[in-house]
Amino acid sequence: MGFAYTKLALLSVIIFISIFPQTYISHDIESSFLQCFSSGLENSNSTTKVILTQNSSSYTPLLQSSIRNNRFLESSVPKPYLIVIPNDLFQIQKTIICSKKQGLEIRVRSGGHDYEGLSYVSNVPFLMIDLRNLRSITIDIKEENAWVQAGATLGELYYAIANKSNLHGFPAGSCPTVGVGGHFSGGGFGTIFRKYGLATDNIIDAQIIDVNGNILNREMMGEDLFWAIRGGGGSSFGVITAWKVKLVRVPLIVTIFDIPNRLDQNATTLFMKWQIIANKLPSELFLHSVLGIAANSSSDSGKTVTVSFTGLYLGKSDDLLPLMQNNFEELGLQRDNCTEMSWIQSVLYLTGHSINGSLEVLLQRNTTLTSFKAKSDYVTDPIPMSGLEGLWNLILEEDRPTLIMTPYGGRMSEISETETPFPHRNGIIYGIQYLVDWEKNEETPKHVDWIRRLYAYMTPYVSKGPRAAYLNYRDLDLGVNRENTSYEEAKSWGVKYFKSNFERLAQVKDEVDPTNFFRDEQSILPLSRETSLVDKDNA
Ligand SMILES: Cc1cc2nc3c(=O)[nH]c(=O)nc-3n(C[C@H](O)[C@H](O)[C@H](O)COP(=O)(O)OP(=O)(O)OC[C@H]3O[C@@H](n4cnc5c(N)ncnc54)[C@H](O)[C@@H]3O)c2cc1C
Ligand SMILES: *[C@@H]1O[C@H](CO)[C@@H](O)[C@H](O)[C@H]1NC(C)=O
Ligand SMILES: *[C@@H]1O[C@H](CO)[C@@H](O)[C@H](O)[C@H]1NC(C)=O
Ligand SMILES: *[C@@H]1O[C@H](CO)[C@@H](O)[C@H](O)[C@H]1NC(C)=O
Ligand SMILES: *[C@@H]1O[C@H](CO)[C@@H](O)[C@H](O)[C@H]1NC(C)=O
Ligand SMILES: *[C@@H]1O[C@H](CO)[C@@H](O)[C@H](O)[C@H]1NC(C)=O
Ligand SMILES: *[C@@H]1O[C@H](CO)[C@@H](O)[C@H](O)[C@H]1NC(C)=O
Ligand SMILES: *[C@@H]1O[C@H](CO)[C@@H](O)[C@H](O)[C@H]1NC(C)=O
Ligand SMILES: *[C@@H]1O[C@H](CO)[C@@H](O)[C@H](O)[C@H]1NC(C)=O
Ligand SMILES: *[C@@H]1O[C@H](CO)[C@@H](O)[C@H](O)[C@H]1NC(C)=O
C-alpha cells in the first residue's frame, strides 16, 4: 500500500513536471511582471482588475468573451500567461516596458475577430493586452470627422454616428462586433466601399504607443509609420490606441435587394454575366454574390448550388431600377424586390436584425459561434464556364460552404497600389472569400482539407505572381514566421498580402522596431534581418 502510494506520488510529480513546465516559468515571469507593473503605481488596488493571471476567476470568461472562432476555445490551444485590460494609456506604456524587461511577447486584441486567433493565441510565452475598456468615440459632425479608440467595435461607431446624424456614415465592414483596432489596420471594406474606399482610406490621424512606450500622433510618428498602419496590420508596429476618421455623406434613402437563384434558375448564366459587370457598375451600387448550397426543391435528398445577389444602392429604387435594367436585365429585379431604408437601417438589415428595431443591438458584443476556416483570392479575369462547373461540384461536397464574391472598381480603382499597404486596387474584378464552418471540432481536419482542395482547384482562375490575399482574412496556410525565418522567406508569402508594398513595410519596421519586439506568426520582419543573417554567415 505504502509503496504503491509512493510510486503513484512520484509518478504524479513527474507527470506534473512534464505537463506543466511552463507553469513554473510563468510564476516567475508573472511575479516579476507584476512587480514591475505596480512600481510607481500608487493605486495598486486597481492592478488586480487591470491584470488577470491564469488563477483569476475572471481570466477564462474574459479570454473567451471575444473569441470569434470555436476552433480556439479548445483547452489545448495555448493561452496568454497574463491578460492586461488597460483603462488608460499609461498602463499600456507600463505593459510594453515591463514585457520587454521580462522577455514576454505581447499580443494586442481589439475585437478578437482575427481568423487565426493571432490576437490571443501563440506558442511562445506571451501576455495579451485587451483594449475593451478603451472604446470612447467622439463625433464632430461640423468637421465631419471622429476620434475612435481602438477597442471600439464597428457597431459602436455606426451607432455613435447615427446618434448624431442621419446624413453621415462610415465605409467599413458589415459585422458590428468587429474591432476597429484590427479592422482599420488591415484595410476594412463593406457595402459602400466602391463609393468611398476602405476604412483605412478614410483615416486622417492616429495614436500609437511605440516600442519605447512613447505616445505618438500622426505628426510625431511621421508619414512612413502612418502609412504602414493603414493596411499593413497593427501587430508589427506598436499598440494603436485610437484612429481619427473622416465621416462620409450618405443619402437619406438607400435601397437594398436580395435575389437568390438556384442552378435550375439560371444561376450559372447570371453569375457569368455578373462577373462582367460587377466592377463596372456606378460606384453608388454595390452588388455582391454569395455562393452556397440549398436543398434541391425537386429532390428530397439532393442539394443544389445557390448564387444570391445582394445589392445596396446609395439612392432610391426609382433610380436603381433603370440602372439594373440597363446593366443586368437578366436578374429581373423588380420594384417589389427592393426595400428603401436609411443607411443605418441597412447596417441592421445586413446583420440580420429587424430594420425597425432599436439601434442598441449594434452595441452588443456577443455573437453566436461556430468553428470556421477561411481563405481569400482576387479575380482579374472572369472565371470561364468550364471553371465554374468544377467549382459547383466542390461546393456540393461540403455541408456549409460559403463563397463571398465582393466586387471592386469604383473608388477602389482610383487609389494607387502604393497609397496604402493594401494593394488590391485597379484591375481587380472581385475578391473571393472562401469560408466553411462547422459545429464539432473533431471534424476540423475534414473541413480544412476541403477548403485547401478548393483553393488548389482555383489556382488557374485567380491572380498570379503573386497569388494575392487579403490580410484581414488571415490565413496561416500562406506562411508562418519562425525564430529563424529570413526576410526572403517571409517575403515569399508577405507579397501575397502587400505586393510591392512589402519591402516598404519591412523598411518602416526596421526604423520603428528594429529588435522585432512587436511580432506574431505573420508580422513584418525588419529589413535588416536579412543583412544580419548574412553578416553572421560571413563571420
Ligand atoms: C464575423 C466576421 C465578419 C467580418 N466582416 C468583415 C467585413 O465585412 N469586412 C472586412 O474587411 N473584414 C471583415 N472581417 C475581418 C476583420 O476585418 C478582421 O478579422 C480584423 O482584423 C478584425 O479586427 P479585430 O480588432 O476584431 O480583431 P483582433 O483579433 O483583435 O485583431 C486582429 C489583428 O490586429 C491586431 N490588432 C488589433 N488591435 C490592434 C491595436 N489596437 N494595435 C495593434 N494591433 C492590433 C491583432 O494583434 C491581430 O493581429 C470579419 C471578420 C469576422 C470574424
Ligand atoms: C482604488 O480603486 C477605486 C475604484 O476603482 C478608486 O476610486 C480609488 O481611487 C483607488 N485607490 C487608489 C489608492 O488609487
Ligand atoms: C496560482 O495558484 C497556485 C496554486 O493554486 C499558486 O501556487 C500560485 O502562487 C498562484 N499564482 C498566482 C500568481 O497567484
Ligand atoms: C443618442 O443617445 C442617447 C443616449 O445614449 C439617447 O438617449 C438618444 O435617444 C440617442 N439619439 C438618437 C437619435 O439615437
Ligand atoms: C421579386 O419580385 C417579383 C414580383 O413581385 C416576385 O415574383 C419575385 O418572387 C421577387 N423575388 C424575390 C427574390 O423576392
Ligand atoms: C435536382 O434534383 C433532380 C432530381 O434528382 C435533378 O434532376 C436536378 O438536376 C437537380 N437540380 C439541380 C439544380 O441540382
Ligand atoms: C433562363 O434564361 C433563359 C435565357 O435567358 C430564359 O429564357 C429562361 O426563362 C430563364 N429561366 C429562368 C428560370 O429564369
Ligand atoms: C418597418 O416600418 C415601416 C414603416 O412603418 C413599414 O412600412 C415596414 O413594413 C416595416 N418593416 C419591417 C421589416 O417590419
Ligand atoms: C446577446 O446578448 C443579448 C442580451 O443578453 C441577447 O438578447 C442576445 O440574444 C445575444 N445575442 C446572441 C447572438 O447571442
Ligand atoms: C528553422 O528552424 C526549423 C525548426 O524550427 C527547422 O526545421 C528549419 O530547417 C530551420 N531553417 C533554417 C533555414 O535554418
pLDDT in tens, the chain (539 residues): 333 333 333 333 333 333 444 445 567 888 899 999 988 766 555 566 899 999 999 999 999 999 999 999 999 999 999 999 999 999 999 999 999 999 999 999 999 999 999 999 999 999 999 999 999 999 999 999 999 999 999 999 999 999 999 999 999 999 999 999 999 999 999 999 999 999 999 999 999 999 999 999 999 999 999 999 999 999 999 999 999 999 999 999 999 999 999 998 899 999 999 999 999 999 999 999 999 999 877 666 689 999 999 999 999 999 999 999 999 999 999 999 999 999 999 999 999 999 999 999 999 998 889 999 999 999 999 999 999 999 999 999 999 999 999 999 999 999 999 999 999 999 999 999 999 999 999 999 999 999 999 999 999 999 998 999 999 999 999 999 998 898 889 999 999 999 999 999 999 999 999 999 999 999 999 988 654 444 444 33
Is 369 close to ligand 6, i.e. is its CB under 6 Å away?
no
Which pLDDT score is estimated for 145? 98
Domain boundaries 254-336+368-461, corresponding CATH code: 3.40.462.20
**Ligand 6 center to 299 CA (angstroms):** 6
All 3 cell numbers of residue 76?
Answer: 489545448
185 and 237 in contact (C-beta within 8 Å)? no
Which residue is it, cell 511605440?
Answer: 210
What spacing in Å lies between the alpha carbon of 287 and ligand 6's midpoint? 28
Catalytic residue set: 473
Provide the pLDDT for residue 367.
86
Query: Cis ω on the peptide bond leading into residue 86 (within 30° of 0)?
Result: no
CATH 3.20.20.30 holds for 2-130: no
Query: Which ligand minimizes its atom distance to the CA of 486?
Result: 10
Which is the closest atom of ligand 6 to the Cα of 299? 2
Which residue has the CA at smallest separation from atom 3 of ligand 8?
Answer: 356
Cα 180 to averaged position of ligand 10 atoms, centre (Å): 36
Beta carbon of 507 within 6 Å of any ligand 7 atom: no
Q: Residue 204 corresponds to which cell in the numbers above?
A: 486622417
Quickly name the fold that domain 137-249 has. 3.30.465
Closest CA to 131 of 117, 111, 113, 155: 111
Phi-psi region of 187 (alpha: psi -120 to 50; beta: other; left: phi over 0): left
Among protein residues, the one whose CA lies closest to atom 13 of ligand 9 = 367
For helices 385-397 and 267-277, the axis angle rounded to 10 degrees is: 120
Q: What is the model's pTM?
A: 0.91
pLDDT of residue 25: 57
Q: Do domains 137-249 and 254-336+368-461 have the same CATH topology?
A: no
How far is it, in rounded angstroms, from Cα 96 to Cα 500?
31
- 129 three-class SS: strand
Q: Which three cell numbers stand for residue 312?
A: 445596396
Question: Pocket of ligand 1, candidates 183, 286, 420: which has the most ligand atoms within 8 Å of its Cβ, to mutate?
Answer: 183
Residue ranges of domains in the chain: 2-130, 137-249, 254-336+368-461, 479-538
pLDDT of residue 197: 98
Q: What pLDDT score does 7 carry?
A: 35
For residue 527, what pLDDT is reported? 87
266 in ligand 7 pocket by Cβ < 6 Å? yes
What's residue 530's pLDDT? 56
The confidence score (pLDDT) of residue 538 equals 39
Nearest CA to ligand 7 atom 2: 266
